[in-house]
A and B are shown apart, each in its own frame.
Chain A
Amino acid sequence: MSNVATFDTRTEAKIPVESPLAYSYRRSGAPAPTGKSRVVLRERPFLGHLILRGGAIVLDEAVREVLGVSLPGEPQGLVQDADGERSIQWLSPDEWLVIVPGGEEFELENRLRAALGDAHFAISNASGGQTLVELEGEAARELLMKSVIYDVHPSHFPVGKGVTTVFAKTTVILRRPAEDRWELVVRRSFADYTYRWLLDAGEEYGIGVER
């Protein structure tokens, strides 16, 4: 067991929390989805985001043991568990992003640390720094075509792929967990910019925001 000091970022005390988009909803509004909406935007705030760094073989063993899924070893890989609640994404040859339901990340981190023992690795909790925005609907791909430089054609971007790329004037982690659903992992400080860009770009598709 390593001697790294860890702490649970979620406290027992009842502190009011706001999602990174709370300000944007107030300032820019959130048009409700209608029957004409060809794309729906949905934020999934307060999830647990962990960055794993280290050798693939060592991490793979620990992740299989603790999470029950294998580490995506191939570039751009995205692996989910059976109910799609937990996911691991390849970010770089020695870096992976784990997203789990909010509140699970501290226990997961401790169990991974215990499983990894003295191996050479790093785990950092990025939950407070980023948020997940989902796009769903038939026009989601068209909306992304206007926003990211990456080729999102189904032949080039199949389900189970995730990339880090340029989105408008910022960067996002773009993932495709299901056929008609895309996920954007955005930095907290760029969440408002991303949200307003999506509202503007999605206007022609009647974008609606589910809250």
Chain B
Amino acid sequence: MFYIHCPYCGELREEEEFHPKGQAHIARPADPAACSDEEWGDYLFFRDNPRGIHHELWVHAVGCRKFFNITRHTVTYEILETYKMGEQPRFTAEHPEGRPSQDGVEQASLREGVRA
């Protein structure tokens, strides 16, 4: 079982409350009509299956029902971070130890609900 930190609820919850929704950061082509069949097929059907760090989309289905992203290691199953939609991961395949974080950004985002 995972113990997942929901970035919107701001606390750790059991995996049972969540659903995985596949690979994260898949951008819809800006102009679908201009895509070749191969590009469109890649967008629709083909997903990465990396050994190591993987960014995934999850939803807190029982809870706040918000979508967010998880950076997870597919070998160790370790969850490196969870972050909100629209944010960029700190841990990537290029930076497995984590990019240097911007000061205060994470703390500020926890209070998103207050500012929204």
Task: List A residues at the B interface (Cβ < 8 Å).
Answer: 55-57, 73-76, 90-95, 149-150, 163-166, 171
Contacts and interface: CB of A to CB of B under 8 A. Distances in A.
Indicate the size class of the contact surface on chain B.
10 to 19
Contacts of B9: 75-76, 163
B17 interface: yes
A55 B13 CA distance: 25
B116 A165 contact: no
Contact of A75 (B8, B16, B62, B115): B8
Interface stretch (B21-29, B43-51, B63-71, B96-104): B63-71
Interface in B42-84: 62-66
A93 B62 contact: no
Nearest to B10: A75
A91 B64 CA distance: 6
A193 B7 CA distance: 31
A73 B16 CA distance: 26
A91 B13 CA distance: 15
> Which has the most chain B C-beta neighbours within 10 Å: A57, A73, A93, A149?
A93
Contacts, number: 56
Given A57-B115, A74-B114, 18 more contacts: A73-B114, A75-B8, A75-B10, A75-B11, A75-B64, A91-B64, A92-B8, A92-B65, A93-B64, A93-B66, A149-B16, A149-B17, A150-B13, A150-B14, A163-B9, A165-B17, A166-B16, A166-B17
A166 B114 contact: no
A163 B8 CA distance: 13
27 contacts: A55-B116, A56-B113, A56-B115, A57-B116, A74-B114, A75-B9, A75-B64, A76-B9, A76-B11, A90-B113, A91-B64, A92-B8, A92-B64, A92-B65, A93-B66, A93-B112, A93-B113, A93-B116, A95-B64, A149-B14, A149-B16, A164-B64, A165-B13, A165-B62, A166-B17, A166-B62, A171-B62
Contacts of A150: 13-14
A111 B64 CA distance: 27
B17 A74 contact: no
Nearest to B114: A73
A165 B113 contact: no
A163 B63 contact: yes
